[in-house]
């Protein structure tokens, strides 16, 4: 009852504010002010047209209204959205000053704007690249009553929706499940590898069809002891679990988006059908709550990886990646005794994942999601060949240098190199993979590290970053 009275008083205040603004001349104006996010404005002050924000879309995306119409934007998504005047090109310009800009609307919140002058008013949602997902709309304001009447047929009624519930929808990240805890909880599904990766087993195998399940979780992840960041992590771990299959397998991945952002999975290096390529604009994004089954054929043995392809600069940087290993069908083709996979990544421990402009300044450099000294030591044996699969998920080239034994470069991007060659320093471009083989002659402890020396620091402190030790045993 008290709450209802408050709403009435607030409504009266807002109506009087609208009247004051109306007296101040022409031009679109916000009826409810920048701070008001709830839709409790009296509906009898001029016409109200409702635009619903749902499933990352404005509905209807285009409306035609008469001057003086109040447009109410109601967010029905669990994800925060906003309404900012401008086209996608406009909002991409740093000097763009929007004519109107709502605050961030949480689920159930709404915001209103009065369109007074005739014209075309484009708008987008600028939250975390949502306009890339098609969150664009426009309002045509015209005094041509016939045009308005024709458009009105497809416009919802002026009745306000019951969207006034203030919903506290915070996205507090869950603490990361440690890799060991995940393996302990689901021993049939996961196995922990000595290089600090978790391998995912198929939940169903029928003939050569292997089916895997991935979801996406916002977790607290520790880069090094005491440095905890928010990550968007496949199955709650960083890197996401490794998918290991055999040449000729048909791979089906059931991806459930258990996160508040749209995502996809792109299979980097795999020649999937277009609809399974995981690019939102050539297939489809997987919206929060949706499940999509990706299918592709493991055509050629080698090292590949998967990553999200929505707003990639942000989503890959937030940790949405994992390794794919396709084993040769012929077991004789495995000529190495032992193997490790290392995924290189760079991280900004201060970045705001939800900022409109995603501008990371990487200050941590990771091997399998962790920085030195919190990375595993790799064990090798004199006279024995170890294959190391290197995947660069970072945004810069990384020159990996091995002390002690040099190595043979045997494969690149999942293809055997025509003539294997010997190196001690290997430049790996973003997205590239190299398989190298080491057959040490002497026992000892030898570093293997990025020779971009900024990458062997943790937030400027040496030693750290992309650095690990090879423990070569007799």
Residue 400 C-beta: closest distance to Cu ion, Å? 27
Does 253 participate in binding Cu ion (rule CB under 5 A)?
Answer: no
Q: Is 263 in the site for Cu ion (CB under 5 A)?
A: yes
* 37 preceded by a cis bond (ω within 30 of 0): no
Stretch that binds Cu ion, among 257-265, 299-307, 341-349, 390-398 (CB under 5 A): 257-265
Per-residue binding string, Cu ion, 329-358, x by CB under 5 A, is ------------------------------
Alpha carbons 222 and 349: distance in angstroms, whole number: 10
Neighbours of 218 (CB within 10 A): 22
CB of 315 to Cu ion, least distance (A): 3
Q: Identify the H or E element spanning 89.
A: helix 88-91
Determine, following the binding rule CB under 5 A, whether residue 132 of this chain makes contact with Cu ion. no
Of residues 321 and 365, the one with the C-beta less far from Cu ion? 321
Contact 370, 223 (CB under 8 A): yes
310 near Cu ion (CB under 5 A): yes
Tell me how far, at minimum, the Cβ of 290 lies from Cu ion, in Å: 13
For residue 143, CA distances in Å to 85, 115, 148, 299 come to 21, 12, 8, 61
Q: Among residues 399, 394, 413, 402, which one has the least CA distance to residue 378? A: 402
Under rule CB under 5 A, residue 31 binds Cu ion = no
CB of 213 to Cu ion, least distance (A): 17
Q: Please choose, out of 5-13, 314-322, 343-351, 426-434, the segment that lies near Cu ion by the rule CB under 5 A.
A: 314-322
Sign of the CA dihedral with 393 first, then 398, 399, and 401 last: negative
Nearest approach, Cβ of residue 320 and Cu ion (Å): 5
Strands (E), 36-146: 48-54, 57-59, 62-65, 69-75, 84-85, 110-115, 119-124, 136-141
For residue 455, CA distances in Å to 81, 191, 224 come to 36, 29, 14
* Choices 43-51, 128-136, 301-309, 409-417; region in contact with Cu ion by CB under 5 A: 301-309
| Interface with Cu ion (CB under 5 A), residue from 307, 315, 387, 433 | 315
Nearest to 100 by CA among 130, 124, 77: 124
CB of 263 to Cu ion, least distance (A): 3
Site membership for Cu ion, residue 233 (CB under 5 A): no
Q: Which is nearer to Cu ion, 263 or 433 (CB)?
A: 263
Taking CB under 5 A as the rule, does residue 308 contact Cu ion?
Answer: yes
286 contributes a contact to Cu ion by CB under 5 A: no
When the beta carbons of 264 and 452 are compared against Cu ion, the nearer one is: 264
Segment lying near Cu ion (by CB under 5 A), choices 41-49, 85-93, 129-137, 315-323: 315-323
The site for Cu ion, by CB under 5 A, has a size of 4
CA 160 to chain centre: 34
Q: How far apart, in whole angstroms, are the C-alpha atoms of residue 438 and residue 470? A: 11
Residues that bind Cu ion (CB under 5 A): 263, 308, 310, 315
């Amino acid at each position: 009852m008290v709450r209802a009275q408050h709403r009435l008083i607030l409504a009266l205040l807002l109506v009087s504010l609208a009247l004051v603004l109306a007296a101040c001349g022409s031009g679109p104006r916000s009826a409810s002010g920048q701070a008001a996010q709830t839709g409790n404005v009296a509906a009898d002050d001029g016409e109200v047209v409702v635009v619903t924000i749902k499933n990352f879309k404005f509905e209807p995306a285009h409306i035609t209204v008469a001057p003086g119409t109040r447009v109410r934007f109601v967010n029905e998504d669990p994800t925060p959205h906003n309404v900012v005047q401008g086209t996608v090109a406009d909002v991409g310009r740093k000097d763009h000053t929007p004519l109107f800009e709502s605050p961030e609307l949480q689920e159930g919140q709404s915001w209103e704007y009065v369109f007074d002058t005739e014209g075309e008013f484009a708008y987008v949602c600028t939250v975390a690249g949502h306009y890339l997902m098609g969150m664009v709309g426009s309002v045509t304001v015209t005094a041509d009553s016939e045009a308005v009447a024709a458009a009105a047929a497809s416009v919802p009624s002026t009745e306000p929706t019951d969207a006034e519930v203030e919903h506290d929808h915070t996205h507090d990240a869950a603490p990361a499940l440690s890799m060991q805890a995940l393996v302990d909880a689901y021993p049939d599904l996961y196995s922990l590898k000595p290089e600090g990766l978790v391998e995912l087993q198929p939940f169903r195998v029928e003939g050569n069809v292997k089916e895997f399940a991935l979801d996406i979780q916002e977790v607290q992840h520790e880069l090094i002891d005491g440095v905890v960041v928010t990550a968007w992590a496949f199955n709650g771990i960083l890197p996401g679990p490794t998918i290991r299959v055999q040449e000729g397998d048909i791979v089906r991945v059931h991806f459930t988006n258990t996160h508040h952002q749209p995502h996809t999975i792109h299979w980097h290096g795999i020649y999937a059908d277009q609809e399974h390529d995981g690019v939102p604009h050539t297939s489809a994004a997987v919206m929060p709550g949706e499940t999509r089954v990706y299918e592709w054929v493991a055509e050629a043995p080698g090292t590949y990886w998967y990553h999200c392809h929505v707003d990639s600069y942000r989503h890959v940087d937030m940790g949405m990646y994992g390794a794919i290993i396709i084993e040769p069908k012929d077991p004789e083709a495995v000529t190495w005794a032992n193997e490790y996979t290392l995924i290189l990544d760079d991280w900004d421990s201060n970045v705001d994942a939800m900022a409109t402009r995603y501008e990371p300044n990487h200050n941590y450099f990771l091997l399998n999601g962790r920085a030195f000294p919190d990375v595993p030591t790799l064990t090798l044996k004199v006279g024995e060949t170890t294959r190391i699969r290197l995947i660069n998920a970072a945004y810069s080239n990384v020159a990996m240098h091995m002390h002690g034994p040099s190595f043979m470069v045997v494969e690149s991007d999942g293809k055997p190199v025509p003539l294997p060659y010997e190196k001690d320093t290997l430049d790996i471009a973003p997205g590239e993979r190299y398989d190298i083989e080491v057959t040490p002659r002497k026992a000892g402890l030898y570093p293997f590290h990025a020779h971009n020396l900024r990458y062997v620091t943790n937030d400027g402190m040496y030693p750290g970053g992309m650095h690990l030790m090879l423990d070569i045993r007799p």
